[in-house]
Amino acid sequence: MIHIQNIAKAFGEIHAVQDVSFDVARGELFGLIGPDGAGKTTLFKILVTLLLPDSGSATVAGRDVVQDFRALRQMVGYMPGRFSLYPDLSVEENLAFFATVFGTTIQENYELIRDIYVQLEPFKNRRAGALSGGMKQKLALCCALIHKPDVLFLDEPTTGVDAVSRKEFWEMLQSLKKHGLTILVSTPYMDEAGQCDRIALMQNGQILAIDTPTGVENRFAKPLFAVRATNIYRLIQDLRQAPFTITCYAFGEFLHLTTQDGVSTGTIDTYLTERHHKQLEIKPIRAGIEDSFMDLMQHA
Amino acid sequence: MRNAVTTNKLTKRFGDFVATDAITFTVAPGEIFGFLGANGAGKTTAMRMLCGLLKPTSGTATVAGFDVYTQSEQIKQVIGYMSQRFSLYDDLTPRENIRFYGGIYGLKRADLKAKANAIIEELELGSVADKLTGSLPLGWKQRLAFSVALIHEPKVVFLDEPTGGVDPITRRHFWDMIYAAAHRGTTIFVTTHYMDEAEYCDRVSIMVDGQIKALDTPGALKKQFGVDSMDGVFQILARGTSTK
């Protein structure tokens, strides 16, 4: 459904996207995971025909993003990272406006947005600018869907959104997927990656890895341990000094410790007990997406 | 030792809307205090009052011993502040930003120079110290902004979503800096949407609809709500209010 081949785009000296290639299948929920400045937005703008690539080619729904841009604009839905609706129009007016621009009506494609729009309906006469963050996000999603696109592009829909609203948003995406929509979504939150069928990890304009979430986790090849003790601040400093340590980072209530091969919990326990750490807890763990991302970043 | 922050029934109304509803808590010196809540729960309003930028409607509050009603100028002298939106001037170099903010806080010329060199060395910014700040990666900017927020050795530093959009390694380097500052005795008052970061705080408060619904150590909160992560605690407390 999306075919990207050797796409590159630079702004002066900044190489925003460097030689990126990947495909997204029909009906797939594909995540572009990476921090600010990874090149996610630039790639999105190229795919929705708002920016010309310097080199390479891409097709979306079989249409070339440069040659067939007019036809393509009818076929894609795009929710930019920054709130881009009309703050002085009401909820209903915004939706009607976007429907009209695409030559359709709210009624015609209501089925697709119904589940989301019913939550907005009590506020349909409120100005979009006066909505809460979560509501703005839902309205923007409705506006991106109202012309029944084949492919939906969501650029960081959950950035700056609280953990509860983020979860709700992903539930909406899962139900949209059931309508057969192909969805490309970007996010800086690693914990959202598991919701996608496949993900591309992106950093500094380059793809670090493309795989299923489980596949990305399985790429992590070094021994990994979760460690905690009463004094986390001293623990992190001691572990970073340890001869067997490769990296040591905070991960919630535990530290994640990557070590050289052949290191056991016993080795770590002895080292830390010698340094008088109390209530030690050390256990080998499987890597998560964030562990893999950090590992890949350091080898990029 | 005197508390770094105290509030007692601190309230702010905008017309009929109660943005911050009688919140009461204290923060100890050198504590890392996580200030959590859904979007629109009233965190920003509360922080603006504590920073001396907004007069409360009722209740009392002190920051570093100064009263938010009558001593807001003294408060501004002894606090640091940074957020993802407001931090540094993109059109100044890192060195100029440090000198500018240091100058505003009244640091002497000789101290400023030493301070600038120390920060640039500590953050390993030597190669970009004289390039425009706007050209730096976000993670570098945020770490620099944090150092600048500490330049006048404030008693309390307010961090409003300091790590939003930052890559996972830099995010952790940032928390290393927070730990180090707290270790030196600076009180840290921080908001975040990353629930793993809530675990790094000494204590966490969770605001829902203007009120503080929970306040304790991460360990005690998880026990209280019978879940194994702060995300679990947050989902229980904040769910159902975000759709308003």
∠ CA A282-A298-A30, rounded to 5°: 95
Query: Residue B30's pLDDT is what?
Result: 94
Q: Is the ipTM of this complex over 0.85?
A: no
User: Model pTM greater than 0.95?
Assistant: no
Closest by Cα among B207, B188, B230 to B39: B207
**Computed from CA positions of residues A83, A84, A90, A93, in that sequence, does the dihedral angle turn out positive or negative?**
negative
pLDDT higher at A129 or A134: A129
In a domain, B72, yes or no: yes
What span, in angstroms and rounded, lies between the C-alpha atoms of B145 and B29?
22
Per-residue pLDDT averaged across B45-51, rounded? 95
* CB-nearest partner of B238 from A164, A232, A236: A164
- pLDDT level of residue B241 (50, 70, 90 thresholds): very low
- pLDDT level of residue B242 (50, 70, 90 thresholds): very low
pLDDT tens, position by position, A280-300 = 999 999 999 999 999 998 877
Per-residue pLDDT averaged across A205-228, rounded? 95
Query: Residue A176's pLDDT is what?
Result: 92
Q: Helices H, strands E: what count in chain B?
A: 9, 10
* CB-nearest partner of B243 from A134, A233, A298: A134
Query: Residue B140's pLDDT is what?
Result: 86
In a domain, B58, yes or no: yes
In a domain, B183, yes or no: yes
* CB-nearest partner of A188 from B165, B175, B235: B165
- pLDDT level of residue B137 (50, 70, 90 thresholds): confident
Query: With contacts defined as CB-CB under 8 Å, which chain A residues touch B241?
Result: 164
Query: With contacts defined as CB-CB under 8 Å, which chain A residues touch B41?
Result: 162
Query: With contacts defined as CB-CB under 8 Å, which chain A residues touch B234?
Result: 162-164
What span, in angstroms and rounded, lies between the C-alpha atoms of A92 and A86?
11
Judged by CB atoms closer than 8 Å, whether chains meet at B168 and A159 is answered as no
- pLDDT level of residue A164 (50, 70, 90 thresholds): confident
CATH number of residue B48's parent domain:
3.40.50.300
Phi, psi of A2 (to 5 degrees): -125, 130
In a domain, B243, yes or no: no
∠ CA B86-A294-A37, rounded to 5°: 40
Number of compact structural domains in chain B: 1
Query: With contacts defined as CB-CB under 8 Å, which chain A residues touch B200?
Result: 232, 250, 252
Query: With contacts defined as CB-CB under 8 Å, which chain B residues touch A159?
Result: 164-165
Closest by Cα among A3, A1, A185, A219 to A80: A185
In a domain, B214, yes or no: yes
Closest by Cα among B156, B209, B196, B174 to B26: B156
Closest by Cα among A226, A213, A247 to B228: A226
Min Cα distance B218 → chain A (Å) is 8
Q: For chain A, what percent of residues have pLDDT higher than 90?
A: 84
Closest by Cα among B241, B214, B197, B170 to A165: B241
In a domain, B244, yes or no: no
Tokens of A233: 């601040």
Structural domain that includes position B96: 5-238
Judged by CB atoms closer than 8 Å, whether chains meet at A233 and B231 is answered as no
Judged by CB atoms closer than 8 Å, whether chains meet at B195 and A163 is answered as yes
A–B CB contacts, 8 A cutoff, strictly below:
97
pLDDT tens, position by position, A37-75 = 899 999 999 999 999 999 999 999 999 999 999 999 999
Residues B115 and B192 sit within 8 Å (Cβ to Cβ): no
Min Cα distance A150 → chain B (Å) is 28
The secondary structure of residue A139, as a DSSP letter, is: H
Residues B15 and B171 sit within 8 Å (Cβ to Cβ): no
- The answer on pLDDT for B156 being more than 80 is yes
- The answer on pLDDT for A6 being more than 50 is yes
Q: For chain A, what percent of residues have pLDDT higher than 70?
A: 100
Judged by CB atoms closer than 8 Å, whether chains meet at B238 and A162 is answered as yes
Min Cα distance A253 → chain B (Å) is 5
pLDDT tens, position by position, A16-42 = 999 999 999 999 999 999 988 899 999
Domains parsed from chain A with CATH numbers: 2-218 (3.40.50.300), 224-299 (3.30.70.2070)
In a domain, B184, yes or no: yes
Query: Residue B1's pLDDT is what?
Result: 56
Min Cα distance A121 → chain B (Å) is 12
Write out the H or E segment, with its range, that includes residue B24.
strand B17-27
Mutation for testing the B interface, residue in A231, A237, A251, A253 having most B CBs under 10 Å: A253
- The answer on pLDDT for B244 being more than 80 is no
